[in-house]
Chains A and B, each alone.
Chain A
Amino acid sequence: MSGPDGNSVSAPVFDRELSLQALLEGCDREQLIHALAELLGVPFRLLAVEGDFACGEKLESVAARAPLCVELEPVAYLEVQDNKGTQLAAAAGLAELVLRGAARYLMVSGLHTQTVLSDYEELQRRHQALEISEQRYRELTQSLEQRVADQVGTIEITQRQLYQAEKLAAVGQLAAGVAHEINNPIGFVMSNLNTARSYLDELATYAESLQQKSAAAAAWREAGLDGVVEDFRDLLQESLEGSERVAQIVHDLMGFSNDDAMSWESIDINTCVQAACNVTSGEISRHAELLTDLGELPPIYCQQGSLAQVLLNLLLNAGRAVRDAGREDGEIRIQTRLEPGHGGDTDKICIRITDNGMGMAPETMARVFDPFFTTHDVGEGTGLGLTLSRDIIQAHQGHIEIDSEAGTGTTVTVYLPVSD
Chain B
Amino acid sequence: MAEFDTHKNKLTVKLVYYGPALSGKTTNLMRLHDQLQAELKGEMMVLETNDDRTLFFDLLPLGMTAPSGLLLKLKLFTVPGQVAHDSTRKAVLSRADGVVFVADSQRTQSINNGVSFENLAANAARVGLDFDHLPMVVQFNKRDLPEVLTEQEILARWRDTQWPLVFSSALQNSGVVETFQELLQQVYRSLDEDYTLAKQHGLTAEMFVAGVMGDEYTQVRRRVANEPSS
In the complex, chain B residues whose CB is within 8 Å of the CB of A108: 47, 56
In the complex, are the beta carbons of A72 and B95 less than 8 A apart? no
A13 part of interface (Cβ distance < 8 Å): yes
- For residue A76, give the distance in angstroms from its CB to the closest CB of chain B: 14
In the complex, are the beta carbons of A15 and B61 less than 8 A apart? no
In the complex, are the beta carbons of B40 and A72 less than 8 A apart? yes
A112 and B57 CA atoms in complex are apart in Å by: 11
A14 and B93 CA atoms in complex are apart in Å by: 12
Residue in chain A with minimal CB distance to B10? A73
In the complex, chain A residues whose CB is within 8 Å of the CB of B88: 111, 115
In the complex, are the beta carbons of B75 and A15 less than 8 A apart? yes
In the complex, chain B residues whose CB is within 8 Å of the CB of A122: 87
B25 part of interface (Cβ distance < 8 Å): no
In the complex, are the beta carbons of B45 and A104 less than 8 A apart? yes
In the complex, chain A residues whose CB is within 8 Å of the CB of B14: 15
A112 and B63 CA atoms in complex are apart in Å by: 27
| Candidates A3, A71, A114, A118; contact of B73 at CB < 8 Å | A71
B170 part of interface (Cβ distance < 8 Å): no
In the complex, chain A residues whose CB is within 8 Å of the CB of B128: 3-5
In the complex, are the beta carbons of B87 and A15 less than 8 A apart? no
Residue in chain B with minimal CB distance to A97? B43
A267 part of interface (Cβ distance < 8 Å): no
- B interface secondary structure, majority: strand
Residue in chain B with minimal CB distance to A2? B128
Instruction: Scan B25-57; emit 1 where CB is below 8 A from any A CB, else 0.
Output: 000000000000000111101010000000011
In the complex, chain B residues whose CB is within 8 Å of the CB of A114: 87, 91
| Candidates A17, A69, A115; contact of B91 at CB < 8 Å | A115
In the complex, chain B residues whose CB is within 8 Å of the CB of A1: 94
In the complex, are the beta carbons of B126 and A72 less than 8 A apart? no
B12 part of interface (Cβ distance < 8 Å): yes
Residue in chain A with minimal CB distance to B72? A72
A3 and B125 CA atoms in complex are apart in Å by: 10
| Candidates A71, A73, A115; contact of B87 at CB < 8 Å | A115
In the complex, are the beta carbons of B91 and A111 less than 8 A apart? yes
A100 part of interface (Cβ distance < 8 Å): yes
In the complex, are the beta carbons of A104 and B94 less than 8 A apart? no
Residue in chain B with minimal CB distance to A5? B126
A73 and B62 CA atoms in complex are apart in Å by: 10
Instruction: Scan A106-138; emit 1 where CB is below 8 A from any B CB, else 0.
Output: 011001101100110010000000000000000
- For residue A221, give the distance in angstroms from its CB to the closest CB of chain B: 131
In the complex, chain B residues whose CB is within 8 Å of the CB of A3: 94, 126-128
In the complex, are the beta carbons of A69 and B42 less than 8 A apart? yes
- For residue A186, give the distance in angstroms from its CB to the closest CB of chain B: 96
Instruction: Scan A87-104; emit 1 where CB is below 8 A from any B CB, else 0.
Output: 000000000000010011
| Candidates A5, A72, A112; contact of B62 at CB < 8 Å | A72
- For residue B73, give the distance in angstroms from its CB to the closest CB of chain A: 6
In the complex, are the beta carbons of B45 and A4 less than 8 A apart? no
A168 and B87 CA atoms in complex are apart in Å by: 76
In the complex, chain B residues whose CB is within 8 Å of the CB of A17: 3, 5, 12
- For residue B129, give the distance in angstroms from its CB to the closest CB of chain A: 9
In the complex, chain B residues whose CB is within 8 Å of the CB of A15: 14, 59, 75, 77, 92
| Candidates A71, A103, A107, A118; contact of B90 at CB < 8 Å | A118
B203 part of interface (Cβ distance < 8 Å): no
B191 part of interface (Cβ distance < 8 Å): no
A291 and B3 CA atoms in complex are apart in Å by: 105
- For residue B81, give the distance in angstroms from its CB to the closest CB of chain A: 15
A–B Cβ pairs within 8 angstroms, 20 of them: A1-B94, A3-B94, A4-B125, A4-B128, A5-B126, A15-B14, A15-B77, A17-B5, A70-B42, A72-B61, A72-B62, A73-B40, A73-B63, A73-B71, A73-B73, A111-B57, A111-B91, A118-B87, A118-B90, A118-B91
Q: Lowest 9 CB-CB distances: which A-B pairs, in order?
A: A4-B128, A115-B87, A71-B61, A72-B63, A72-B40, A71-B42, A5-B126, A114-B91, A72-B42
Which residues on B are within 8 Å of A, measured CB to CB? 3, 5, 10, 12, 14, 40-43, 45, 47, 56-57, 59, 61-63, 71, 73, 75, 77, 87-88, 90-92, 94-95, 125-128
